[in-house]
Structure 1
Amino acid sequence: MDVFHVVDQDGNKLSDVKVIDRIEQSLEVRSFGFRSLQRSVGVQAAAKHTCIELIGRNRPGLLSEVFAVLTDLKCNVVAAEVWTHNSRMASVVYITDEATGAPVDDPDQLAKIKRLLRYVLKGSRDKQSGRTAISMDVTHTERRLHQMMHADQECNTDEMGVEEESNISDMNKPLVTVENCTEKGYTVVNVRSKDRPKLLFDTVCTLTDMQYVVFHATVIAEGPEAYQEYFIRHMEGNPVSSQEEQRRLANCLEAAIARRTMEGIRLELCCEDRVGLLSDVTRIYRENGLSVISAEVCTRGSQAVNVFYVMDASGNQVQRQTIEAVRSEIGQTILHVKDDFGLKSPPQDSGRFSFGNVFRSRSEKFLCNLGLIRSGS
């Protein structure tokens, strides 16, 4: 028997009857049917969109280049989610045909989309080729992103011997220990981290994708921290067999928790949706030297509701004047700063040098080579 004590996103007692009913229905056995799956959070119906999966080395301006390619190919982005971790970027993007609003299913068009996006992902520095996949299947977006980044992490470790150092701050870095309980025949996993929404989901997804079965678990959230303890075995019934496997399990859990940690400034864009909106917005980010750490894009009726977490090109907090310049260009009534406590005040002597100009020229040269923009020379 599993018991969960839950609150809403504001930390209050759950009182919305519709939400409670939705939870109960989702937990019933019949909820695993196809029709219920389509209604789940993060799941996109295959009949309405074409799903594109992207993974490659992250760099400033990458998202802008991806959306510019899709706009040029007459594709409308109706939803997307982007995660970055350890200098890698993974994204699941849902598109429709600009003219018909239907899924893109022409084989030649799909091949062209895949070829150009792979070229964008590969860039000029990626030792591993960027990977692109296109499907019409039903996908749980967040679960799929975990699987993509887990597979990419394994590939990085196998090919380069060590995983790149995460840029997450030590304050937010999770602590994971893995030990065997010999007398009970279990492996005990303890996780201490900053509490946040979907923390339990991220942890359990990783254990499941690594082919472990959870027999007992305790999860406690006290103040800003959360404590998780799991008693696990392999699917065949054996505990973790070696110290190397213990380290691998701990590293994968740390990565799964860290890759969704929201660092940077949260920008919320809410406006009338249109074709090319994301291309324009991310281009403005790029031109002002902003790097997108994570993004969640969705369309509700005729409205685009998008959330971006951004930092500067060096991975530091953004200058306040930069954010204000971006808001002025996009529209102060439609682009809002959710939390501005991380904004830096401008220095006394800022000089004339601008990282934004550097990355603008590099990305524009790259897009010009693809034939997506005209050269100004």
Structure 2
Amino acid sequence: MKKVCWPYFDPEFDTLPERINGPTVLLYFPRSCRVTIDNENTEDCTVVKVDSVNKQGLLLEVVQVLTDMNLQICKSYISSDAGWFMDVFHVIDEHGNKLTDQKVINYIQQAIGRSRGSPHSIKAYSSKVFPNYLHPNEHTAIEMTGADHPGLFSEISAALADLHCNIDEAHAWTHNARLACVAYITDQSTHSPIEDPCRLAYIEDRLTTVLRATTNPNSPRGNQQEVKMVELHGREGTMTTVERRLHQLMLSVRDFEAPSGPTTAEMPSGGEEMRRKRMVRIESCKQKGYSIVSIECKDRPRLMFDAVCTLTDMQYVIFHASISAHRGYAFQEYFIRHIDGYALSTESEKERVAKCLEAAIERRVCEGVRVELRAENRVGMLSDITRMLRENGLAVVRADVETHGEKSVNAFYVRDVSGNYEVDIDYFVQSVKREMGPTVLHINHNIRTADDANTTPISFGHKLRSHIDRLSHALLILSAHD
């Protein structure tokens, strides 16, 4: 029998026309989005590669998927010129290890490459992978913004309890004397969404009254309070995460501006010193028409998400980026233009972008003692917990409240009403045990402040290596255009 020989063709050759001709041709190819996960070529992390037709907001969607999985991005290289998106992420799980769970790997591939499947199938799959996945259609979502004051979150919780609303989940951030809160509620008796327009209008009016109660109408922040019943869905069936909404809400009340005439309770000690240390600088790359945004600060989970989320929501397009972290310190560099195609042209615009990015970084760094309480869920529990915090002179600076089956998990960062972080909460613990019976209570006395996030020592050698890496990346970007 005559032996037949066939010439060898590299598998990558099949996609070469797609890469050369760009998005116009790719729209007709099934491989318009390819996600590759590599666990072999690196020893200490998993490499996620994304190759896709580009669109505004795609980078944020990819980063959002990774951060929603509690993955930490150690390093990333991004390029999205000429309508094509090519990105590489080096990620580890929350324990610092590679990704080994095949369900997690499959979810990442399906969620990022969802152009190959419907949004409904992705949501259905995520419900199987994550049992606690929240179904917005089973709740009524409320967004609240306004000027913050000690005890405000307790007042909101009490008002909702008085209105016969059960809080199934709530997340609140405070920064620069502003508050943003997203809560999911149901009817206390039926445990179903609240749909009666008259009742919804009454809830909005009551919560607006609570937010407005101690606001000075002559203050620049006097009319910034707002309460809305919302559907947290974006276009094309995708869901906007709660954390992104909190960033957007904080941006809407201009928390990047220092509060005018702050009191001791409004501004934590060390706030002025914290703002003097610039984490963000912006330079111009006139040769190629980019603005270069550089971020240097202490590394932490979700840092890249916070930066990309802020730039995207401020209508800036990220064309290239380089992200790295070493010994707990993060270096991020973004090559951006406004969505209208122009770079940042004025010093005031650069200052505003820098302030907004610094505010986004600071929001996540909670200042205070972490109190976590797990107990059997019941109606009015959140109102009782926050009341006890207020009665013990403790102010909530961040809250994350979730319901897992019959259990309620409540996590708060607290400080005293004078703004001090070192608080004595022994009496609060006794009050909880006395009023709530058997509960699981965790107190974390390791206080983390935003000021500490900028004082981590770093060696000159690493600064030099990082500078060389960023310079090399910039040269690659410039050469790609020539």
Pairwise same-fold verdict (TM > 0.5): yes
Which residue of 261, 284, 288 maps to 1:184?
288
Q: Which stretch has the larger CA shift, 128-137 or 32-41?
A: 32-41
RMSD: 2.9
3-state SS of paired residue (1:112): helix
Match of 2:228 in 1: 133
- In the TM superposition, residue 320 of structure 1 has moved relative to its aligned partner by 4.7
Q: Does the Cα contact within 8 Å between 2:166 and 2:187 map onto a contact in 1?
A: yes
Match of 1:339 in 2: 444
Residues 61 and 342 of structure 1: is their aligned pair in 2 closer, same or farther, counting only changes over 3 Å?
same
Q: Does the Cα contact within 8 Å between 1:268 and 1:306 map onto a contact in 2?
A: yes
Match of 1:90 in 2: 180
3-state SS of paired residue (1:271): strand
Cα separation, 2, equivalents of 1:105 and 1:122: 25
The Cα offsets for residues 255-309 of structure 1, whole Å up to 9 and x where unpaired, read as 0111111221111111111110000000000000111111111111111112111
Cα separation, 1, equivalents of 2:405 and 2:305: 28
Cα separation, 2, equivalents of 1:15 and 1:229: 30
3-state SS of paired residue (1:3): strand
Cα separation, 2, equivalents of 1:289 and 1:160: 24
Cα separation, 1, equivalents of 2:118 and 2:316: 21
Cα separation, 2, equivalents of 1:174 and 1:273: 43
Cα separation, 2, equivalents of 1:310 and 1:81: 14
Cα separation, 1, equivalents of 2:279 and 2:257: 22
Query: Size of the alignment, in residue pairs?
Result: 341
2:287 maps to a residue whose letter is E
Which residue of 342, 347, 350 maps to 1:246?
350
Q: Does the Cα contact within 8 Å between 1:219 and 1:226 map onto a contact in 2?
A: yes
Greater Rg by CA: 2
Residues 46 and 20 of structure 1: is their aligned pair in 2 closer, same or farther, counting only changes over 3 Å?
same
1:19 maps to a residue whose letter is V
Match of 1:290 in 2: 394
Please give the residue correspondences for 1:148-297 in structure 2 after superposition, counting only pairs within 5 Å.
Answer: 148-153=249-254, 170=273, 175-297=279-401
3-state SS of paired residue (2:167): strand
Q: Is 1:11 aligned with 2:102?
A: no
Q: Does the Cα contact within 8 Å between 1:75 and 1:97 map onto a contact in 2?
A: yes
Q: Does the Cα contact within 8 Å between 1:269 and 1:306 map onto a contact in 2?
A: yes
Q: Does the Cα contact within 8 Å between 1:43 and 1:140 map onto a contact in 2?
A: no
1:135 maps to a residue whose letter is V
1:146 maps to a residue whose letter is H
2:94 maps to a residue whose letter is Q
The Cα offsets for residues 5-47 of structure 1, whole Å up to 9 and x where unpaired, read as 1111122222222222222222113377255358499985332
Match of 2:64 in 1: none
3-state SS of paired residue (2:90): coil
Q: Which stretch has the larger CA shift, 52-61 or 25-34?
A: 25-34
Which residue of 412, 420, 424 maps to 1:319?
424
- In the TM superposition, residue 178 of structure 1 has moved relative to its aligned partner by 0.7
Residues 32 and 54 of structure 1: is their aligned pair in 2 closer, same or farther, counting only changes over 3 Å?
farther
- In the TM superposition, residue 125 of structure 1 has moved relative to its aligned partner by 2.8
Match of 2:122 in 1: 36
Residues 72 and 59 of structure 1: is their aligned pair in 2 closer, same or farther, counting only changes over 3 Å?
same
3-state SS of paired residue (2:288): coil
Match of 2:10 in 1: none
2:390 maps to a residue whose letter is R
3-state SS of paired residue (1:55): strand
Higher relative contact order (CA 8 A, sep 6+): 1
Residues 161 and 276 of structure 1: is their aligned pair in 2 closer, same or farther, counting only changes over 3 Å?
closer
Match of 1:124 in 2: 214
Q: Does the Cα contact within 8 Å between 1:269 and 1:334 map onto a contact in 2?
A: yes
Residues 53 and 4 of structure 1: is their aligned pair in 2 closer, same or farther, counting only changes over 3 Å?
same
- In the TM superposition, residue 168 of structure 1 has moved relative to its aligned partner by 6.5
Cα separation, 1, equivalents of 2:278 and 2:425: 29
Q: Does the Cα contact within 8 Å between 1:85 and 1:166 map onto a contact in 2?
A: no
3-state SS of paired residue (1:63): helix
Cα separation, 1, equivalents of 2:180 and 2:412: 15
Residues 247 and 253 of structure 1: is their aligned pair in 2 closer, same or farther, counting only changes over 3 Å?
same
2:148 maps to a residue whose letter is N
Q: Is 1:56 aligned with 2:146?
A: yes
